[in-house]
Amino acid sequence: MLAIFKREITSFFSSATGPLALLLFLLINGLVLWVFEGPYNVFDYGFADLSAFFMVAPFVFLILIPALSMKSFSEERKLGTLELLLMKPMPAWKLVVGKLLGVVILGLIALIPTLVYVWSISSLGTEPGNYDLGLVAGAYFGMLLLLLAYTSIGIFSSSLTENQIVAFLMAVILCLIIYLGFGSVSELFSDGKAALFVEGIGAQAHYERMGRGVVDTRDVVYFLSLSTFLGYLTVLRLKKRV
């Protein structure tokens, strides 16, 4: 598993595509938050607050993570190396976890420079340094769990096809459905309990609750369960090729 993880990280930095994807993530976030006028611009928002960033990031991740994960198994299938990996004395779940961790770490690398935003917002306040870091920590933790869920979706999509573009598109659509789809469908229900139930199936409600600094065990269990389930489906898909 460690060898697979190292291989994923190495292959990422050995080509220009990977670093370019991270650069685009930071560039898009930076432009939306600090340059382009609109509801997400920090200066137009009127408060020294990072809420806009935590609202924008899930949609940028919705493109970044599928782009990072699309070749995880698609490339292996296309090159014919997937069968060789599955023939090794290593459980299929370790192969899946190794590739998943590789993409998650890359996502974390993309998030680390955004900590500059925390310092910037703290400095822009009426009283520099007077900022609720607990709220920010909770929001970043929620983003990490969402990153894990997106990665699981991307890895699963990559296991379904040898075409990386198809894997990318499938992952984007599935991420969009998981994040926004159920919340949109819940608005069609007139019954409040039914609407809340359907909304709870999606990721947006759980993520936004954590984005407000509320770290609820149910939200953590939701993301971990979703990621585990998708990882299990990926393992089943790989075993069918043995």
Task: Give, in order, the Cα–Cα distances in Å from 22 to each of 110, 173, 219.
Answer: 6, 21, 27
Residue for token digits 């969009």? Answer: 176
Residue 76 is encoded by which pair of tokens? 């292996």
Is the pLDDT at 161 greater than 70? The verdict is: yes
pLDDT in tens, 43-75: 666 566 677 788 888 998 998 899 888 888 888
CA neighbor of 185 nearest in space, from 200, 207, 206, 170: 200
Q: Give every CB contact of residue 219 below 8 A, 6+ residues apart in sequence.
A: 142, 145, 206, 207, 209, 210
Residue for token digits 């939200």? Answer: 219
Q: Give every CB contact of residue 222 below 8 A, 6+ residues apart in sequence.
A: 200, 203, 206
Within 13 Å, how many C-alpha atoms sit on residue 90's CB side? 17
Mean pLDDT, the chain, rounded, equals 83
What is the per-residue pLDDT for 235? 92
Amino acid in position 14: S
pTM: 0.88
**Beta-carbon neighbour count of residue 64 at 10 Å?**
24
Residue 71 is encoded by which pair of tokens? 């070749």
In angstroms, the first-to-last Cα distance of the chain is 18
What is the per-residue pLDDT for 6? 75
Q: Give every CB contact of residue 44 below 8 A, 6+ residues apart in sequence.
A: 37, 38
Q: What is the DSSP letter of 33?
A: I
pLDDT (mean) for 179-201:
85
Highest mean pLDDT among 45-49, 99-103, 148-152: 148-152
pLDDT in tens, 121-143: 766 655 555 566 777 888 889 99
What is the DSSP code string of 191-205? SHHHHHHHHHHSSHH
CB 107 within 8 A of CB 68: yes
CA neighbor of 103 nearest in space, from 31, 4, 182, 34: 4
pLDDT in tens, 75-89: 888 877 777 777 777
Lowest mean pLDDT among 87-101, 129-143, 155-169: 129-143
